């Protein structure tokens, strides 16, 4: 048995959920797993099996709205960090593990493993290199880091701790989640509303979910045909709602990965600003909608760079209903 292991994934909720298999692999060998998360990923981190403690820090080279790099900010991280025997730094292909590796070295972490295309010098003990052209799914990519560090075993299935009972009943409804944290990944609200109405007309009970800042959006999307849960569920409660759903309709956003973690099929309204091979719902039946060869492909844009948002605006409510039918029959 190893001592305390620090696992870092200071990104959004979906990224943290996809790190779950790697964390379980570490947990199977380590006495204690401490997960370093960002503010957008903390709630997801607290749902993961195998995590003993979560610490939160905004990472200036990861956060989409990065804080300045100051001595005070770095000192706060040094205070938060545990006395870890080793660390795994989990990143996406467009992120660098080396700035955090440097800080962990200064904190005295003895053994550090991460993916790095750049020469790491003495910053890493185990340098993992990945053929990025293979577009390895994120869950498998991060699990490969754990295995390279010696944490063998486990599979890449997503999982969360048992969620609370659903606040909706009976089971078998469709969840529509219209919000995203990047406008480039959003299906237009009016199309969501049309899909809710079309699904209701097909006999489905439709539940519309969203965060506290999305209440106007969820109310508009739910209209007279959907049950509006906007702002009424924590992430753990949302897991319970998704667990009793027959399908989720959502963009490339955290709840799509949360649905995968509770085994619910997903109709994925997927903008190709990032590769679907990496970030599509993992390990559950899914239908991908959206033009994956649109001009925005692989741009990683947060705001749509193409007039009219053609990759998703062409998807119709009828296509969504058809996809739901495919998944539930």
Tell me: pLDDT of 1 over 60: no
Q: What pLDDT, in 10s, does the model give residues 161-197?
A: 999 999 998 999 999 999 998 999 999 999 999 999 9
Q: What is the pLDDT of residue 276?
A: 95
Give the global pTM. Answer: 0.96
CATH of the domain spanning 2-148, picked from 3.30.420.40, 3.40.50.2000, 3.40.50.880, 3.40.50.720: 3.40.50.2000
| Beta bridge partners of residue 30, listed in sequence order | 2
**H or E element, residue 224:** none
Cα separation of 110 and 152, whole Å? Answer: 20
Please tell me what DSSP assigns to residue 178: -
What are the boundaries of each domain within the chain?
Answer: 2-148, 174-328
User: By mean pLDDT, which of 48-57, 253-262, 307-316 is the weakest?
Assistant: 307-316
For the beta carbon of residue 107, count every other beta carbon within 10 angstroms. 17
Q: What is the pLDDT of residue 216?
A: 97
Q: What is the pLDDT of residue 154?
A: 77
| Beta bridge partners of residue 207, listed in sequence order | 175, 227
Residue 267, classed as helix, strand or coil, is strand
**Region 174-328: CATH code:** 3.40.50.2000
Q: What is the pLDDT of residue 2?
A: 62
Cα separation of 182 and 39, whole Å? Answer: 16
For the beta carbon of residue 67, count every other beta carbon within 10 angstroms. 11
Counting other chains too, the contacts that 257-260 makes at CB distance below 8 Å and 24 or more residues apart are 257/13, 257/14, 257/17, 257/18, 257/158, 257/281, 257/282, 258/13, 258/14, 258/17, 258/44, 258/160, 259/175, 259/284, 260/17, 260/158, 260/284, 260/286
- Among 118, 84, 117, which residue's Cα sits nearest to residue 103? 84
Cα separation of 243 and 188, whole Å? Answer: 26
Q: What pLDDT, in 10s, does the model give residues 250-309?
A: 999 999 999 999 999 999 999 999 999 999 999 999 999 999 999 999 999 999 889 889
For the beta carbon of residue 152, count every other beta carbon within 10 angstroms. 10
Average pLDDT over residues 311-321: 96
Average pLDDT over residues 118-129: 97
Is residue 253 within 8 A of residue 233, CB to CB? The reply is no
Q: Do the domains 174-328 and 2-148 match in fold?
A: yes
**Percent of all residues in the chain with a pLDDT value above 90, rounded to a whole number:** 91
Cα separation of 172 and 213, whole Å? Answer: 27
């Amino acid at each position: 048995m190893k001592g305390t292991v620090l696992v870092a994934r200071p990104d959004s909720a979906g990224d943290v959920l996809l790190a779950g298999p790697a964390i379980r692999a570490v947990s199977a060998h380590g006495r204690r797993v401490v997960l370093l998360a960002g503010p957008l990923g903390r709630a997801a981190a607290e749902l993961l099996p195998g995590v003993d403690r979560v610490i939160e820090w905004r990472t200036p080279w990861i956060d989409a709205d990065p804080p300045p790099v100051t001595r005070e900010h770095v000192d706060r991280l040094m205070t938060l960090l545990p006395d870890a025997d080793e660390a795994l730094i989990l990143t996406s292909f467009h992120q660098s593990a080396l700035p955090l590796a440097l800080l962990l070295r200064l904190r005295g972490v003895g053994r550090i493993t991460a993916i790095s295309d750049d020469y790491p010098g003495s910053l890493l003990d185990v340098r993992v290199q990945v053929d990025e052209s293979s577009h390895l799914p994120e869950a498998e990519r991060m699990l490969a880091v754990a295995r390279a560090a010696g944490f063998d075993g486990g599979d890449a299935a997503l999982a969360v701790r048992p969620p609370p009972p659903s606040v909706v009943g009976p089971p078998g409804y469709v969840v529509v989640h219209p919000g995203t944290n990047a406008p480039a990944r959003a299906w237009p609200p009016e199309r969501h509303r049309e899909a809710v109405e079309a699904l209701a007309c097909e006999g489905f009970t439709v539940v519309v979910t969203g965060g506290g800042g999305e209440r106007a959006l969820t109310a508009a999307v739910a209209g007279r045909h959907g049950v509006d849960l906007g702002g009424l569920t924590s992430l753990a409660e949302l897991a319970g709602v998704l667990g009793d759903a027959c399908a989720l309709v959502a963009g490339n956003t955290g709840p799509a990965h949360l649905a995968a973690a509770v085994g619910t099929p997903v109709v994925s309204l997927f903008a190709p600003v990032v590769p679907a091979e990496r970030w599509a719902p993992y390990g559950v039946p899914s239908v991908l909608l959206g033009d994956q060869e649109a001009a925005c492909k692989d741009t990683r844009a947060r705001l749509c760079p193409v007039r009219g948002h053609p990759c998703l605006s062409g998807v119709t409510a009828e296509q969504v209903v058809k996809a739901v039918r495919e998944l539930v029959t």
